[in-house]
Amino acid sequence: MRSAALGLTAVAALLASGPAAAAPSRDWSHMVAETPDGGFRVGNPAAKVRLVEYGSLACPHCRHFEETGYKPLIANYVRTGRVSYEFRNLLISAPDVSATLLTRCAGAAKFFPMAEVVFATQPDWEKRIADLSDADKAAIDAMPNQQQILRLASVTGLVAVAARFGVTPARARQCLIDAKALQHLLDVDKAANDHGVTHTPTFIINGKVSEAATWDDLEPEIKSAVGG
């Protein structure tokens, strides 16, 4: 009888506490995939609002969006499944090629975390290039493409950044000299240009190009598309 009494007491306590809390909804911010269009998408692939950014890891305006808009975008819109966010690289410089190949080399699951660090350190690695002597810059410019990409990756220190995300130096070299990976980036670049995308960042909401370039300007458009 003692065990039965304890059982009834426990049931009574549960009834008194009210209905069980609802299970938390799915967190879509952990779903990341490479897309057929050459970007990396985070969020619900069937989201009502599909946000695409054409951006460059060497673009200071894209860095500003990363620093001010990325986290609230993920926390307030992507996490709930209402918005998906896709980043497509639009190349703007030779160092950008090295940075992009290395960041993509980290893979889908680590692309956005590594991109965050690449953006955060952008002023540092761009300064390293700016501080090169004219002779060193001329020597790099005269190199074949693969050697130039490798050299810039070394000068910027981004190989060490990639190592923090599991990309060994040997693997980094493979990615940097991968002719198919480079051609893929150039194809994404050409497709963007063919559709009139010529500057970074360019945001596209459900297929429509936005005039917004900052989070302050973009968020109201996202709210309107979401419906509240």
Share of the chain above pLDDT 90, in %: 87
Answer for the pair 48, 226: CB distance below 8 angstroms, yes or no: yes
What pTM was estimated for this model as a whole? 0.87
CA distances from 109 to 92, 112, 113 (A): 25, 7, 8
Q: Are strands 49-55 and 83-89 parallel, antiparallel or unpaired?
A: parallel
Give the mean pLDDT of 213-222.
Answer: 98
Rounded to the nearest integer, the mean pLDDT of the chain is 90
The span from the first CA to the last CA of the chain, in angstroms, equals 57
Q: Which region, left, alpha or beta, applies to residue 212 given φ > 0 means left and ψ of -120 to 50 means alpha?
A: beta
pLDDT at residue 125 tops 50: yes
How far apart, in whole angstroms, are the C-alpha atoms of residue 53 and residue 56? 9
176 phi and psi angles, rounded to 5 deg: -70, -25
Least confident window among 20-34, 101-115, 147-161: 20-34
- Lowest average pLDDT, out of 167-171, 173-177, 195-199, goes to 195-199
Multiple choice CATH, 29-226, 2.60.120.370, 3.40.30.10, 3.50.50.60, 3.40.1520.20 = 3.40.30.10
| H helix count then E strand count, the chain | 12, 6
**Cα 147 to Cα 141: distance, rounded to the nearest angstrom:** 10
| Mean pLDDT (whole number) for 95-109 | 97
